[in-house]
Chains A and B, each alone.
Chain A
């Protein structure tokens, strides 16, 4: 046990002390908001600076009118399409929209000419406007006043409330649950990949630099493998903890800053619980706040830590086994497939099945099978999962990582001493079966 502890310490300290660790840890929480901020800023700038684009409209039906926007202006002059094309070619017009004469029941043949490819947003803007016009026209022709249609349009929002056995009502909102499941699932996916790879690299380093022979004369290969996996898990947890603290601090600072700019009255309303409750019941924003307050954070946090570690341990052992079997990282490729495929299946499953329908059969199996459960179950936890399913999934995950660690240990102990041979799956299987 003492020796595993020494290995854990070494693996941990060697990585945490690296400058790259410090950089990645400190910069990552800043990089994503920064990149997003830059994009938003650029987009805003572009919108502000863009010259007004004039589009010539030739409407043979004499029916349509398009309203100009900040970006696009529409000119309706009675020229023919040849002249309009010329205007585009000369650069006097950004584009030319040709609406030929057509049957209102079957509007076809509308075309847009431009010097460059028009953006998706422009095309859909034009399409929407024309569609609306045609619909209105057809309603009018069948004797319905379009105004009536506008009057009867209603917005419906359903407040979803979950009832548990004790009758407690919790307001839930699929968007918030989705977001939590999404972030947690992706974090676990990334963590397994990044740190699994670190395990593999570490094992290959020890093997290829032949340190391993000295090490295994002092301790059991299994101790060495376990020490490495746990040590690197420590590095990951440290990183995560720093991120949480950083993001927490940043959020506090930012909201504090915004709070100071908030009008006095609103701030007072928020500070007064009774008023805030009134606010919460009435506005949409308040509903979301209520949802956020209603989520069982303790359960989510505990499950997150559990699946985070469980998934990492399960895959970490496999990554260690791969590292032990090969001489160089480039040789590892052939064995990576069986490890990456279930991870990618879990990742895709999270988006396609779990987040959209957390209680479907596919979601259930994805969140129970140990290879996919760490990622898939996190997509379900925020929606609330029956206790027995959670227990089954966690139990299977524990069994799963004990099993992969056992298998990996068998491959590892032989693999690390093998040099110069490229093992196949057949040899790996032989190693697993060997007793000594």
Chain B
């Protein structure tokens, strides 16, 4: 769906993107991760043709990105707003028409979405009279009103209350089912594991990691196991710092060059092994590890 080749962008002396490559397959939810200021928004703005890159190419559906592709993308920026004095209906119509829908199409789509999210009664209200959550829904509908095959959401859940966040999350998943490709940019990495199929991590203008969630997780395996032993048959070595809870001893151990089975064998000599599980790092930990290893190497 989207292919990015050696993209570079700098603002004066500051590099915002350095040789970034990306490949987003069709119909996936793609997580674009990285801390604030890493270059995510710049990348998204380039895809949206808001700014131009210094060098490198962006292909969308196999074609070099051009102004005619504007209608293929739905974009929800991190910083978003609506015309306060405009009515919900007029506002949606304006955004839909700007994305190239005919007046007739636009009206049908708006009606459909207003009904779907139970908002018909708001259509003649001004934005300034709506609650924040309502306005956010209007914003979301405005983003997807033209049925874009590619949806780019920059921090979509920031500022949403939990109820609306859930509604939006379900809508995103439903759109994905229908074949929409979704790029989800966020610095809150704990939220991506549930939603994303693929991820890419960006730090200080460079892509430092990408792949499916499973691939990414396999890149960084600290090879540490969490272990619980019951019915001890002999004392544990003192360097194994453990926590005792009613005769159960829990602790973590690194493999230290052994095979998992060798470690398990060793443990069995101390008692009944009731838990032996590899510790899977969170996205956050993977990110931190990756940042350290790229900086050191």
Is B77 a contact partner of A417 (Cβ separation < 8 A)? no
Decide: A214 and B85 in contact? CB cutoff 8 A: no
A417 x B50 contact (CB < 8 A):
yes
Residue ID in chain A nearest B75 by CB atoms: A217
| Interface residues in B67-105 (C-beta closer than 8 Å to A) | 67, 70, 73, 75-77, 79-86, 94-95, 97-99
A101 sits at the interface (CB 8 A): no
Is A213 interfacial (CB-CB < 8 Å)?
yes
Query: How near does chain B come to A126, taking the closest CB pair, in angstroms?
Result: 61
- The verdict on B119 contacting chain A, using a C-beta distance below 8 Å, is no
Q: How far is the CB of B42 from chain A (nearest CB, A)?
A: 10
Complex-state Cα separation, A419 to B78, whole angstroms: 13
Which B residue's beta carbon lies closest to that of A208? Answer: B81
Q: B180 at the A/B interface (Cβ < 8 Å)?
A: no
CA distance A205 to B45 in the complex (A): 21
| A26 CA to B50 CA, complexed, in Å | 41
Q: Which of B1-60 contact A (CB under 8 A)?
A: 45, 48-52, 54
Q: Main SS of the interface on chain B?
A: loop
Q: A217-B48, A217-B50, A436-B51 are in contact. Are A10 and B94 (CB under 8 A)?
A: yes
Q: B94's contact among A6, A213, A417, by CB below 8 Å, is which? A: A6
CB of B142 within 8 Å of the partner chain: yes
Q: Which of A212-234 contact B (CB under 8 A)?
A: 213-220
Instruction: List, in ascending order, chain B residues with CB within 8 A of A14's CB.
Output: 83, 85-86
Q: Which chain B residue shows the least CB distance to A6?
A: B97
Known: A6-B97, A417-B50. A217 touches B81 (CB 8 A): no
B45 proximity list for chain A (CB < 8 A) = 417
- Please measure, in the bound complex, the distance between the C-alpha atom of A211 and the C-alpha atom of B97, giving whole angstroms: 15
Q: Note all chain B residues with C-beta closer than 8 A to A417.
A: 45, 50-51
Q: Mark A178-221, 1 if CB is under 8 A from B, else 0.
A: 00000000000000000000000000010001110111111110
Q: A6-B97, A209-B81, A217-B49 are in contact. List 16 more A-B contacts (CB 8 A).
A: A14-B85, A205-B83, A209-B82, A209-B83, A210-B80, A213-B50, A214-B76, A216-B48, A217-B50, A217-B70, A217-B73, A217-B75, A218-B70, A219-B70, A220-B67, A436-B51
Closest A-B pairs by Cβ, 9 of them: A209-B81, A210-B81, A218-B98, A213-B77, A210-B79, A217-B48, A436-B52, A217-B75, A211-B81
20 residue pairs of the A-B complex, CB under 8 angstroms, read: A3-B98, A6-B94, A6-B98, A14-B86, A205-B83, A209-B82, A209-B83, A211-B83, A214-B75, A214-B76, A214-B77, A214-B81, A214-B95, A214-B142, A216-B50, A217-B49, A217-B50, A217-B73, A218-B70, A436-B51
